[in-house]
Amino acid sequence: MGDEHDLDPAVVARVRSDLAELGSDAASAPDVPDGVTSRVVAALRAEPAHTVRRQPLGRLQLFALVVGVGAVVAAVVVGASMAAREPAPTFPAGPTAEQITVARPATTIPLPQPQILALLSQGPDYGPLADPAQRNSCLDRLGYRGTAVLGARPLTMAGKDGVLMLLPGDAPELVVAVVVDSNCSGAHPPLLARTVVTRT
């Protein structure tokens, strides 16, 4: 039995391409025997549901929590030392640890990189940020005043409505992908996620 090295490369390429397509062609998948589905569903229902207490902190969330707690501790130390030197001053309400931890944007965007890069060749869909003035104000807050948007689409992230926008990176082959809150108002930090992808 020969191997593929003596095969027409075009034939090998076609076989591999058809297999890859089958791997993502869910619409053509056949029906599942009822017994299989019901068996899996029964097993899933027997599992305990996740609770907020049981959710383990991701590495990023843990780091952000440490930073937040450290900031609170530092504020307490500074405040105590100042109080020791002068009559009790009045401090404005500072950020809580929770506000500090949630302000740090995620670095993973719930969209495969090929789909992110595909936006570069499509017309931008700004969704809730269709208004140029609002969009430019949002970009200004992010530090991208006057930067051309290379691609965009609405995206839901962790249950929040947002907009994914692609911006030029520090090098020609780099693209910055940011997900901003759909309001992008001044009341909340607008940045939900930020990552850098490399053009292929």
Q: Which residues bind to other proteins, rule: CB under 8 A?
A: 1-5, 7-8, 10-12, 14-16, 18-20, 22-23, 25-26, 28-33, 35-37, 39-41, 43-45, 47, 49-52, 54-56, 58, 108-112, 156-159
The strands making up 160-168's β-sheet, listed across from edge to edge, are 151-157, 160-168, 174-181, 191-198
Q: Name the minimum Å distance from CB 53 to other proteins.
A: 10
Strand pairing category for 174-181 and 151-157: unpaired
Q: Name the minimum Å distance from CB 152 to other proteins.
A: 18
- Nearer CB in complex with other proteins: 41/77: 41
- Nearer CB in complex with other proteins: 68/162: 162
Q: Name the minimum Å distance from CB 17 to other proteins.
A: 9
Q: Name the minimum Å distance from CB 196 to other proteins.
A: 13
- Nearer CB in complex with other proteins: 24/81: 24
H/E stretch holding 12: helix 9-24
What does the block give as tokens for 105? 């944007």
Q: Name the minimum Å distance from CB 198 to other proteins.
A: 15
Other residues' Cβ atoms within 10 Å of the Cβ of residue 101: 21
- Nearer CB in complex with other proteins: 63/91: 63
- Angle among Cα 198, 166, 100 to the nearest 5 degrees reads 100
3-state secondary structure of 173: coil
What are the CA-CA distances from residue 33 to residues 22, 26, 30, 37, 128 (Å)? 20, 16, 9, 7, 43
- Nearer CB in complex with other proteins: 106/184: 106
Q: Name the minimum Å distance from CB 30 to other proteins.
A: 7
- Nearer CB in complex with other proteins: 16/199: 16
Cα torsion 175, 181, 187, 188: sign: negative
Check if the beta carbon of residue 196 is closer than 8 Å to that of residue 177.
Answer: yes
The span from the CA of 193 to the CA of 60, in Å, is 12
